[in-house]
Structure 1
Amino acid sequence: MSAAELLDWIAAWPLASAMRRSAILYLVVNAAHILAIALLIGAIVPLDLRLLGFFGNTSLEGLGPFLSRAAAVGLGLAIVTGFCLFSVRPAAYAANAAFLAKIGLLGVGAANAMTVHLGGAWRAAVNGGPVSWRLRVSAAVSLTVWPAALLAGRWIGFL
């Protein structure tokens, strides 16, 4: 299947057709996407700041796993709702530089998060150990990548 055929198949998806016909359905999915992004960013920023040494009096043992799971839920919901929004005009989005930048940044952010959670430094930190320099670097990357993805997402409508 070629890329053009795949994009046509996505555009023909029943939910995509329904969203093109219903402004209310599109509005609800768009609002859900914004809420999912808010959950992701709202959880990841304080977690990253804590890993970088801010809020040192706040327990990473209690805060870390909760914020990490909240960010993961936000990311999952953002991906699902984002795909729904993409399906309305997939060919146009696939040709949009800001959309492509956003997808690339999402990939970097997700890979960074997976690397953190698969490493022993995360488990050690949330079990009361010190925050390693690797976790601090990952937090700095995260604090750069996720807001950049948010900005790229807002930029989509201007290109």
Structure 2
Amino acid sequence: MEGVSVLEWIGTLPFAVAIRRSAILYLFVNAAHVLSIGLLVGAILPLDLRLLGFFRKVPVEVVGPFLSRAAATGVGLAIITGFCLFSVRPLEYAGNAAFLTKITLLALGITNALLLHLTPQWRAAVKGGPLSPRVRLSALLSVAIWTGAVLSGRWIGFLSE
């Protein structure tokens, strides 16, 4: 791989070449990415809103673990499909401010969720305990971070024109 950057190498991967050559394959990978993001946001936003005090009749101990796993599945699928889309034009995307913002927010969102899930306050909340200020702050950050990530993702196309 001497003389070839990692970004250039990513662009030569077989799936990257296949996606670049096939509009239909690109369409399906793009649709899978959008659906993955839908799963992530569709799970995390209701959970965050519940943790912030909305929908008080919905028990956190019931929806918390389920929606967390659904959001984690969405994140995993979005990363896989997003990497496939990135591989089509890695040099261009690596210099795109919106893409870099999205990746930064993605890392922050995952870190926020992991840190929350490691706390005794989260474990207490999913056992029916009180929603601590730590849990509520994490939920508020989550809403802002994931909303920003979605907006940044939409912004990518406008900066690559």
TM class by shorter chain equals: over 0.9
Question: Percent identity among equivalent residues?
Answer: 65
* Structure 1 outlier segments of 4+, above 6 Å: none
Match of 2:84 in 1: 84
> How many equivalent residue pairs?
159
Aligned pairs for 1:1-159 (under 5 A) are 5-159=5-159
**CA–CA separation in structure 1 for the residues paired with 2:83 and 2:116:** 25
Q: What 5-or-longer segments of structure 2 have no aligned partner?
A: none
What CA RMSD, in Å, does the superposition of the two structures yield over aligned residues? 1.4
1:46-95 superposed Cα distances (whole Å, 9 cap, x missing partner):
00000001000111111100000000000000000000000000000000
Match for 2:36: what amino acid? A
Shift of 1:120: 1.1
- SS of the counterpart of 1:56? coil
**CA–CA separation in structure 2 for the residues paired with 1:85 and 1:107:** 18
Q: What 5-or-longer segments of structure 1 have no aligned partner?
A: none
**CA–CA separation in structure 2 for the residues paired with 1:21 and 1:136:** 46
**CA–CA separation in structure 2 for the residues paired with 1:30 and 1:128:** 39
1:6-40 superposed Cα distances (whole Å, 9 cap, x missing partner):
00110000000000111111100000000000000
**CA–CA separation in structure 2 for the residues paired with 1:25 and 1:31:** 10
**CA–CA separation in structure 2 for the residues paired with 1:121 and 1:12:** 46
**CA–CA separation in structure 2 for the residues paired with 1:119 and 1:10:** 37
- SS of the counterpart of 2:5? helix
**CA–CA separation in structure 2 for the residues paired with 1:16 and 1:72:** 25
